[in-house]
Amino acid sequence: MIEVSLFQLFVIFIIILYIINRPRLGKNEPPLVPYTIPILGHTYDYLFNTKTFIKKCKEQYGECFSIYIFGDVVTVLSRDSLTEVFRNNNDFDMESAAKETLPLERLLPYSGNNVPFHVKTTREQVSGKLDINIDIAQKYLLKGIEKLIGDCNEPKVFYKTWNLVNFLIALPIANILVGEEAASHEDLVKALGDLAFDVGPLIIIPPILFFIHKKLHEIVITLPLKFGWNPVSRIRNIVMNRLRPVVEKRLKERKELGNYYKPYNDLWEYYMNLPNFDNTKPNNLHFHVDNLLAITFASISTTSRAAVDALYDLAGRPEVLNELYEEALIIDKECNGSITVPEIQKMVKLDSFVKESLRHGDTILSLPHYMISKSYTFSNGFRIPEGRKIMLYSIDMLKAKEYFGDDAEEFKPFRFLNRNSPATKVDRSYIVFGGGKHACPGRFFAISETKLFLHKIILKYKVSTESGKIEDKVFVGPFTSPSEGGLVFENRK
């Protein structure tokens, strides 16, 4: 009888894996960057040397090339071919690629992730009601800043400032989403603010199991859910507890006041008006709360990231801070400290600064999509087959000399001043909000809140980096995270 050792079994397994996963390229495909280690391919360089590796690939192979990572061929697109992804949304699908690493519909099982619904509510209720929402944002940003940063007669140093800024940004958003009564509870605001931080780490877990099978990673990261552990459960419970009495109160008011009922101005009121809102039905409240959590996920950490990056960018550049302080003072005087949408539009230097800060977000590869048509041929002649994953070489586009000039690599705070190029304007090169039909519908609110936040901070404090230098972002594979260095706040007066 032949005995087979564990080692032999392992070797057989590796050989099978090699044969199954061996990249097979069709005709006219973008070039596959050669690699030396079978199975592993470019995975190591992709994880630990992303910036230099991808840059070199582009220099050698052009704007459209493929790499072999986690047992799969992934096509990296830049410049013109990148733009084609936004223009051809019937051929490229982001949702299917995003849920491989962040299965939101499993984390929010009561509602799934109904993107068209969130796009509509963001357009109509968040960005579409900017006047009302900016009023709310102003009130709660001031409260939050007073409470969390407060009096800095003696300079105060904050570390890992993203957490602080995230709570400050979450406070107005919570008020806009669930109204003042529910958002007066700190545990609810904190829970909404925590959501992306609690589930976000799933995105950066390297999908090692992709080497064996694509589905395996999703099965393993969602395994705890099957045993009842869901990072969202804690958050959902807090939100449900705070919203239940609000629902009862509003339903009672509606009954008693009839036509005299004055609707609240929050997204929850909108949900309560939907024909499918019926809190007497089992899990109906869960359904609407999961919808609320989906929009929370899209809105808070993204906006706080923009705000904290801009704050670090500002703190490292005292001369820019002074110039923005002058602009802020003039606007503040004109409106007596009560900012409305027209004043936010007048903050043109700040707008350019925020846009430049977003341009320097430095994410290397972003927005993975699957190509879902039979095949797709780019204008440059390269063809990719159905099921091919693509990634956008975003840092390359955002630092392209063709679009941003010879000094594209530099941080020029007032680069966009007098150029009719506000921070919300999506075009072929400024892709921080994506592009085409799916471009972020929340950007009008996000930019306004970020500007308002910075405006209030600039008026109140001198902010500097503890190191006295411009702080660099932290690279995590193809992603970045804000610096964790100390930020010093000191009262202006």
Binding residues for heme, as ranges, are 440
Angle between helices 94-101 and 214-221 (to 10 degrees): 50
Binding mask 236-275 for ligand HEM (x = CB under 6 A): ----------------------------------------
| Cα Rg, the chain, nearest whole Å | 24
Can you list the positions of beta strands (E) in 84-233? 92-93, 156-158
Q: How far is the CB of 354 from ligand HEM (least distance, A)?
A: 9
From candidates 144, 193, 316, 434, binder to ligand HEM by CB under 6 A? 434
Binding mask 404-433 for ligand HEM (x = CB under 6 A): ----------------------------xx
Burial, 296: exposed, middle or buried (Cβ in 10 Å; 0-12, 13-18, 19+)? buried
Contact status: 355 vs ligand HEM (CB under 6 A): no
Size of the site for ligand HEM (CB under 6 A): 25
Instruction: Write down the residue that tokens 């459209």 correspond to.
Output: 64
How far apart, in whole angstroms, are the C-alpha atoms of residue 163 and residue 341? 27
Contact status: 440 vs ligand HEM (CB under 6 A): yes
Q: Please, which residue, 316 or 435, has the CB nearer to ligand HEM?
A: 435
Q: How far is the CB of 110 from ligand HEM (least distance, A)?
A: 18
How far apart, in whole angstroms, are the C-alpha atoms of residue 63 and residue 402? 14
Binding mask 40-79 for ligand HEM (x = CB under 6 A): ----------------------------------------
Contact status: 299 vs ligand HEM (CB under 6 A): yes
The DSSP element (H or E) to which 384 belongs, if any, is strand 383-385
Contact status: 172 vs ligand HEM (CB under 6 A): no
User: What 3-state DSSP class applies to 489?
Assistant: strand
Contact status: 193 vs ligand HEM (CB under 6 A): no
Residues of this chain, 83-102, that bind ligand HEM according to CB under 6 A: 86, 94
**Backbone dihedral angles phi then psi of residue 98, each to the nearest 5 degrees:** -65, -40
Sign of CA dihedral 372, 373, 375, 377: negative
Q: How far is the CB of 373 from ligand HEM (least distance, A)?
A: 17
**Backbone dihedral angles phi then psi of residue 186, each to the nearest 5 degrees:** -60, -35
Q: How far is the CB of 182 from ligand HEM (least distance, A)?
A: 17
CA distances from 144 to 65, 109, 475 (A): 47, 32, 29
Burial, 338: exposed, middle or buried (Cβ in 10 Å; 0-12, 13-18, 19+)? exposed
**Backbone dihedral angles phi then psi of residue 383, each to the nearest 5 degrees:** -125, 140
How far apart, in whole angstroms, are the C-alpha atoms of residue 486 and residue 386? 48
Q: How far is the CB of 367 from ligand HEM (least distance, A)?
A: 6
From candidates 298, 308, 311, 390, binder to ligand HEM by CB under 6 A? 298
Contact status: 382 vs ligand HEM (CB under 6 A): no
How far apart, in whole angstroms, are the C-alpha atoms of residue 241 and residue 412? 47
Q: How far is the CB of 176 from ligand HEM (least distance, A)?
A: 8
Residue 170 amino acid letter = A
Contact status: 306 vs ligand HEM (CB under 6 A): yes
Q: How far is the CB of 406 from ligand HEM (least distance, A)?
A: 26
Q: Please, which residue, 287 or 444, has the CB nearer to ligand HEM?
A: 444
From candidates 172, 441, 482, 485, binder to ligand HEM by CB under 6 A? 441
The binding site for ligand HEM (CB under 6 A) comprises 86, 94, 115, 118-119, 122, 126, 295, 298-299, 302-303, 306, 432-435, 438-443, 445-446
